[in-house]
């Protein structure tokens, strides 16, 4: 099969992914073999390919938003999704407490095990999600990380119906989260750099749109930050009412700047981070996405152009999400 392989992390401008022929993955017990129909490109893939996340394998196929047909193993014939959380041990303290997103020995698709930038992939059969018919391949792929993690972020931020919610950054995750918030009758305030992202937020019905340094004129109940920037976290914190919560949706932040506790955190404001996802997040979100007719904006790339897809994500040159179709 054809696959995009990372042997040594490098800046994506050096084209670190090699598109080569490799042996098809072999079915292992407890797993399913998938023919990949589409695989979303996530910012985390960029962190893996460029080495901000240290390599866990000598050679790895990235990609953790896989839509595929099961061609071998249980569930043959089903169309399923595979996410970043590829497996957990099921035995650690966190798994036993229902916090499998924090598992001590997780596997991550496209990072610790092979992912979906390929014609075939495998996945643990208890970590695949049958996809509702309402979600077609291209539009389901970006839901599987950007969508689920965005949804989890709203949960971590404690969003309730009708609240004022800030989205700081308006990339792949936020442009899905806004639709969920609107379905919950929330007012959405978007702060983001980049004119095209601001225009997209406006066209999607945000109550207010500003640049990353602008502050809405009202105090927010909740905020989610999507940029890998500590300054953005502080901006979000400074927009909150007393008792409000900021959920930081970033696997990596440049740094955390000093900030004024008396003004920004006092008053029971809270700063939380969002880590990974649970299977319950995936199931609940995919059902909601089908119900509200969530259709992300997508740009399609061929597998041969996997490096270009990553470059486009890096340069914020994609409105919505990039999807690779092998
Ligand atoms: Zn991801
Ligand atoms: Zn565990």
Query: pLDDT of 172-195, one tens digit each?
Result: 889 899 999 999 999 999 999 889
- Cα of 228 vs centre of ligand 1, distance in Å, is 13
- Cα of 268 vs centre of ligand 1, distance in Å, is 31
- Cα of 284 vs centre of ligand 2, distance in Å, is 21
Give the pTM. 0.92
| Mean pLDDT score across all residues of the chain | 95
Sequence-distant (≥ 6) Cβ neighbours of residue 188 within 8 angstroms? 165, 166, 167, 178, 181, 182, 205, 206, 207
> What would the two tokens of residue 56 be?
């866990």
Asked if pLDDT for residue 319 goes beyond 80, the answer is no
- 146 alpha carbon, closest ligand: 1
- 108 alpha carbon, closest ligand: 1
Residues around ligand 2, an ion, CB closer than 5 A: 88-89, 92, 95, 103
Give the distance, in angstroms, between the CA of residue 33 and the centroid of all CA atoms in the same chain.
23
Rounded percentage of the chain residues whose pLDDT exceeds 70: 100
Asked if pLDDT for residue 320 goes beyond 80, the answer is no
CB of 155 closer than 8 Å to CB of 281:
yes
Sequence-distant (≥ 6) Cβ neighbours of residue 177 within 8 angstroms? 150, 151, 153, 154, 167, 224
pLDDT band at 196 (very low <50, low <70, confident <90, very high): confident
């Amino acid at each position: 099969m054809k696959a995009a392989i990372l042997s040594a992390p490098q800046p994506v401008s050096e084209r670190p992914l090699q598109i080569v022929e490799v042996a098809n993955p072999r079915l292992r017990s407890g797993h399913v073999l998938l023919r990949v129909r589409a695989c979303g490109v996530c910012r985390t893939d960029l962190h893996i390919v460029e080495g901000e996340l240290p390599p866990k394998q000598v050679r790895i196929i990235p990609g953790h938003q896989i839509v595929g047909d099961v061609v071998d193993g249980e569930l043959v014939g089903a169309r399923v999704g595979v996410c970043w959380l590829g497996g957990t041990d099921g035995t650690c303290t966190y798994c036993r407490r229902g916090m499998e997103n924090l598992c001590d020995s997780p596997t991550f698709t496209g990072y610790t095990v092979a992912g979906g930038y390929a014609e075939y992939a495998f996945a643990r059969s208890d970590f695949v999600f049958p996809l509702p018919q309402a979600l077609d391949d291209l539009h389901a792929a970006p839901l599987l990380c950007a969508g689920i993690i965005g949804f989890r972020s709203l949960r971590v931020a404690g969003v309730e119906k009708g609240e004022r919610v800030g989205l700081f950054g308006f990339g792949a995750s936020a442009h899905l989260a806004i639709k969920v918030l609107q379905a919950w009758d929330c007012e959405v305030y978007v702060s983001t750099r980049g004119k095209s992202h601001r225009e997209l937020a406006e066209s999607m019905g945000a109550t207010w749109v500003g640049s990353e340094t602008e502050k809405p004129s009202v105090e927010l109940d909740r905020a989610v930050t999507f940029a890998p920037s500590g300054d953005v976290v502080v901006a979000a914190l400074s927009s909150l009412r007393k008792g409000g919560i900021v959920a930081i949706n970033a696997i990596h932040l440049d740094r955390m700047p000093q900030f004024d506790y008396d003004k920004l955190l006092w008053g029971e404001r809270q700063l939380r981070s969002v880590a990974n996802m649970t299977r319950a997040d995936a199931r609940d979100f995919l059902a909601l996405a089908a119900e509200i007719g969530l259709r992300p904006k997508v740009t399609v790339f061929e597998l041969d152009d996997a490096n270009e897809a990553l470059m486009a994500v890096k340069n914020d040159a994609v409105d919505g999400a990039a999807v690779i179709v092998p």
